Amino acid sequence: MKTITVQEAASMIPDGASLMVGGFMGVGTPHRLIDELVRQGRRDLIVIANDNAKPGVGIGKLVDAGRVARTIASHIGLNPETQRQMISGQMAVDLVPQGTLIERIRAGGYGLGGILTPTGVGTVVEEGKRKIEIEGKAYLIETALRADFALVHAFLADYTGNLSYALTARNFNPVIAMAADTVIATADNIVPVGLIAPDHVVTPAAIVDYLVANR
Amino acid sequence: MKTITVQEAASMIPDGASLMVGGFMGVGTPHRLIDELVRQGRRDLIVIANDNAKPGVGIGKLVDAGRVARTIASHIGLNPETQRQMISGQMAVDLVPQGTLIERIRAGGYGLGGILTPTGVGTVVEEGKRKIEIEGKAYLIETALRADFALVHAFLADYTGNLSYALTARNFNPVIAMAADTVIATADNIVPVGLIAPDHVVTPAAIVDYLVANR
Amino acid sequence: MDAQAIIAKRIARELRSGMLVNLGIGIPTLVANYLPEGVNVFFQSENGLIGTGPIPEEGMGHPTLTDAGGSPVTALPGASTFDSATSFGLIRGGHLDLTVLGGLQVDAQGHLANWMIPGKMVPGMGGAMDLVTGAKRVIIAMQHTAKGKPKILEKCTLPLTSARPVDLVVSEMAVIGFPGGRATLLETAPGVSVDQVLAATEARLATPENVVEMPL
Amino acid sequence: MDAQAIIAKRIARELRSGMLVNLGIGIPTLVANYLPEGVNVFFQSENGLIGTGPIPEEGMGHPTLTDAGGSPVTALPGASTFDSATSFGLIRGGHLDLTVLGGLQVDAQGHLANWMIPGKMVPGMGGAMDLVTGAKRVIIAMQHTAKGKPKILEKCTLPLTSARPVDLVVSEMAVIGFPGGRATLLETAPGVSVDQVLAATEARLATPENVVEMPL
């Protein structure tokens, strides 16, 4: 684990990279990293996240600036700009049921090829997917999802990279932290090693590659 | 959620019931419940757990008393009595890789039909199972596992049933708590509602059916 | 009482102590305002909270405690927070006793369409597909008609949310169930006749002898 | 130095700072005793701990902090605990940099058998199948022969642990790798000749020119 500046962190991410980004309507999103990606002019990004927040907030800022080539999300209803870019063909949008999305990401991070879920059976979601029956019940085979980078935001971090999260700002963060080749974390507070109780660590240090220093 | 005595808790479990039991070599096992099941003479049980501990400890006491008809576990190597009963045909033993076992239980509790895992491909574990290829890699379809009862042990409980666990006594407990029709919990300490921080609750109260009172 | 209040108040009567309940955005959210006295339920926000409390007083919220719409909420004593995988495990795994959701269309078999209008509104399904597929009981809270047109149709014309039928539809005019897989008029709102409900409904409704007045 | 110490000490040289490492029971556990100075690794116990420390001094342990064998351990500053699903997610998901395990047999392609002897020893595979299938690097720590009989065979006769070949076998006689899927003698222990290794090995070993002495 290395502690780096937000500028260094953003500069590691190339144009065209796939990013999993934590947060739910911007709550629990690593805002400083997003802002810096916008500032550095990163483009053609693939953004995997629960939602696109709203214009001017979190992932919404990348969308506003036209930097997202494709998003895989469960909900974009509160971001009219994403909907506009989707309809105009500027951005590709893959809509995935929220529970399926988080399980696909988890599968990617936990070494599973995928999971069997009843969600989406008998709807447009099943198009093009393998279906399987187990004890008379139909399931879709939903395959694992991974990304080049996971951008996570924690409440507490220590200097080895252990992370814990606050309240509903946890959401996708600990799950995406398992599912990317490179994990970059920001945190509200960075504390000396040993101050987060082992039982309260949610993301173990060993899987975090970079921690963004607070000024 | 109801708070009951250990006698009441054990008496709800009929002969022949399937039980998921928390613990890893007895650490994090609800010992009082196991002891009471032995005392009440419960028999023909199906025990799903990581291991069978060792003679005289935790699940080992049920084995010693000949009360286990079948066990689904990942490891029984430290319990010679289980091995003896397996070889004599007194007890059926299904051995499952530990990661597969916990994912099958999780799938049962999380509403998934199963998961795709590379573990066991090309070994005796794949016998009788469906295999599937995703992007050129082979996976076994491992199906969900549920039980009639989950017997869990926590470090802290509150009187609505929220649970948190201590150190390596967490292990299978929070996962099995999701995967049974009836969830019975014991705890080292039972505290008034509101004293476990929301971020430190691991098993939410809403899924715990019975809490065993401490004397 | 306005239409929304009638719907929310009627649905609140379905709540029982100890239930784990997920309320969707819109009319479903209002159900919490009519929780009967002495009934204590666990409200889940799918963004990762059980024990969701009311909107905080001015200056008493925190940016990390929000509902599924991203708005500030409070948490009751005994609340718990968790990641999204756990949240949807609760939803899909049979732990959620009840979800109340809005609807665009419901058909005669109880199938729901509530997540998109092709070519017009594509917000994404969010948690709706998991909720309808996984909750033990699904109640739809919606106005009976939209711009005078029935929303309870013989067959949904919009993409379905799930192959699993809902359990109950509560509108400002009626309560409709699906016993035996067939839309059945169970209750009419005060001052609303069976014929008025039938006229505002495209799906053929079974109308038993004992259609009662909606208790509010 | 006895056989076990040679094996553990040689394997310890494979550790690098920042690695997440899982040590099996038996000889693998001894590897931690030979961690080179200045190298800081994360040791995982698959029962739910990263940051496993040494055996506690008398009276300084706690019954809820144990290793995968159920024996008391300590935890280093920065340790974390988690449930078994997370523990095996770390193992299977490509997060575990190295696992060191014991072996009953390894074959010429690097396949491992280490979890059962049919009709004799059926302890269960525990975490072994997930570890061998999922870890980035798998090193087998075992004595070269058992009761004089080779354990490195042309083909395993015991049930395999995984279809995935191991990366390295370290015995008290030799270090064997599998470049290009073929068992290859890489190092011999001090005082052991290439011929002695070949005589104690059933699998045909490729023996390059540059077989070096095992650094200890």
Residue B206 DSSP class: G
Using a CB–CB cutoff of 8 Å, tell me whether B71 touches chain D.
no
Domain boundaries defined on chain C: 3-213
Tokens representing B52? 């069978």
Are the Cβ atoms of C47 and A102 closer than 8 angstroms?
Answer: no
Amino acid D53 reads: G
Are the Cβ atoms of D83 and B175 closer than 8 angstroms?
Answer: yes
Where would I find the H helices in chain A? 6-11, 31-39, 59-64, 80-88, 98-109, 173-176
Model confidence at D1, in pLDDT bands (50, 70, 90)?
confident
Model confidence at D120, in pLDDT bands (50, 70, 90)?
confident
Domain boundaries defined on chain A: 2-96+145-212
Cα dist. D71→A197, B29, B153, D57 in Å?
21, 15, 19, 13
**Which residue from C94, C107, C216 is spatially nearest to C163, judged by alpha carbons?**
C107
B2-96+145-212 is classed CATH 3.40.640.10: no
Closest approach of C189 to chain A, Cα-based (Å): 32
Residue B137 neighbours by CB under 8 Å, 6+ apart: A113, B118
Q: Is the pLDDT of residue B215 over 90?
A: no
Are the Cβ atoms of D69 and B25 closer than 8 angstroms?
Answer: yes
- Chain A residues whose beta carbon lies within 8 Å of the beta carbon of residue C47: 24-25, 27, 168, 171
Over the stretch B39-72, which tens digit does the pLDDT of each residue have? 999 999 999 999 999 999 999 999 999 999 999 9
Over the stretch A12-49, which tens digit does the pLDDT of each residue have? 999 999 999 999 999 999 999 999 999 999 999 999 99
Q: Which chain B residue is nearest to residue C17, measuring alpha carbons?
A: B1
Q: How far apart are CA D174 and CA A126, in angstroms?
A: 54
Over the stretch D69-87, which tens digit does the pLDDT of each residue have? 899 999 999 999 999 999 9
The reported pLDDT for the residue numbered C182 is: 96
Q: What is the mean pLDDT of residues D110-127?
A: 92
Over the stretch D7-62, which tens digit does the pLDDT of each residue have? 999 999 999 999 999 999 889 999 999 999 999 999 999 999 999 999 999 999 99
CA A159 to chain centre: 22
Q: How far apart are CA D101 and CA D10, in angstroms?
A: 14
**Which residue from D63, D85, D82 is spatially nearest to D73, judged by alpha carbons?**
D63
Using a CB–CB cutoff of 8 Å, tell me whether D210 touches chain B.
no
Residue A16 DSSP class: T
The reported pLDDT for the residue numbered C175 is: 98
Question: Is the separation of the CB atoms in B27 and B50 below 8 Å?
Answer: no
Cα dist. A72→A46, A76, A104, C88, D122 in Å?
8, 10, 11, 18, 46
Over the stretch C79-135, which tens digit does the pLDDT of each residue have? 999 999 999 999 999 999 999 999 999 999 999 999 999 888 889 999 999 999 999
Over the stretch C126-162, which tens digit does the pLDDT of each residue have? 999 999 999 999 999 999 999 999 999 999 999 999 9
**Which residue from B190, B147, B195, B209 is spatially nearest to B172, judged by alpha carbons?**
B147
Over the stretch B117-146, which tens digit does the pLDDT of each residue have? 999 999 999 999 999 999 999 999 999 999
Amino acid A180 reads: A
Q: How far apart are CA B72 and CA B20, in angstroms?
A: 9
Are the Cβ atoms of C42 and B199 closer than 8 angstroms?
Answer: no
Q: Which residues of chain A have pLDDT under 50?
A: none
Are the Cβ atoms of C70 and A169 closer than 8 angstroms?
Answer: no
Closest approach of A9 to chain D, Cα-based (Å): 19
Number of H helices, E strands in chain B: 6, 12
Q: How far apart are CA A28 and CA C70, in angstroms?
A: 11
Where would I find the H helices in C135-192? none
Instruction: State the chains in contact with B (3 or more Cβ–Cβ pairs under 8 Å).
Output: A, C, D
Amino acid B19 reads: L
- Chain A residues whose beta carbon lies within 8 Å of the beta carbon of residue D94: 111
Q: B21 has which bridge partners?
A: B151
Question: Is the separation of the CB atoms in D101 and D138 below 8 Å?
Answer: yes
Q: How far apart are CA D55 and CA C87, in angstroms?
A: 38
Are the Cβ atoms of A113 and B116 closer than 8 angstroms?
Answer: yes
Positive/negative CA dihedral, B99, B104, B108, B111: positive
Residue C190 neighbours by CB under 8 Å, 6+ apart: C213, C214, C216
Of A111, A162, A178, the CB nearest to D78: A162
Torsion angle, CA of C38/C39/C42/C46, rounded to 10 degrees? Answer: -130
Q: Which chain C residue is nearest to residue B158, measuring alpha carbons?
A: C78
Of D63, D122, D130, the CB nearest to B99: D130
Closest approach of A64 to chain B, Cα-based (Å): 33
- Intra-chain end-to-end CA distance of chain C, in Å: 10
The reported pLDDT for the residue numbered B59 is: 98
For chains B and C, CB pairs below 8 A equal: 60
Using a CB–CB cutoff of 8 Å, tell me whether D117 touches chain B.
no
B19: helix, strand or coil? strand
The reported pLDDT for the residue numbered C1 is: 83
Residue A34 DSSP class: H
- Chain B residues whose beta carbon lies within 8 Å of the beta carbon of residue C79: 198, 201
Active-site residue, selected from the candidate residues D14, D46, D172, D187: D46
The reported pLDDT for the residue numbered C208 is: 95
Q: Which chain A residue is nearest to residue D86, measuring alpha carbons?
A: A110
Over the stretch B19-30, which tens digit does the pLDDT of each residue have? 999 999 999 999
Residue D158 neighbours by CB under 8 Å, 6+ apart: D104, D105, D113, D116, D117, D118
Kind and range of the H or E element at C88?
helix C84-92
Question: Is the separation of the CB atoms in D213 and D188 below 8 Å?
Answer: yes
- Chain A residues whose beta carbon lies within 8 Å of the beta carbon of residue B137: 113
Q: Which chain C residue is nearest to residue A78, measuring alpha carbons?
A: C123
The reported pLDDT for the residue numbered D121 is: 81
Domain C3-213 top-level CATH class: alpha beta
Positive/negative CA dihedral, A130, A133, A138, A142: negative
HSE, side-chain direction, 13 A CA sphere, residue D198: 10
Are the Cβ atoms of A102 and C85 closer than 8 angstroms?
Answer: yes
- Residue D187 falls in the annotated catalytic set: no
- Intra-chain end-to-end CA distance of chain D, in Å: 10
Q: How far apart are CA D75 and CA B74, in angstroms?
A: 25
Rg (CA), chain A: 17
Exposure of D69 by Cβ count < 10 A (0-12 exposed, 13-18 middle, 19+ buried)? middle
Active-site residue, selected from the candidate residues C46, C57, C58, C187: C46
| Residue ranges of E strands in D38-133 | 42-45, 49-53, 74-81, 98-101, 105-107, 112-113
Of B116, B139, B199, the CB nearest to A167: B199
Amino acid A213 reads: A
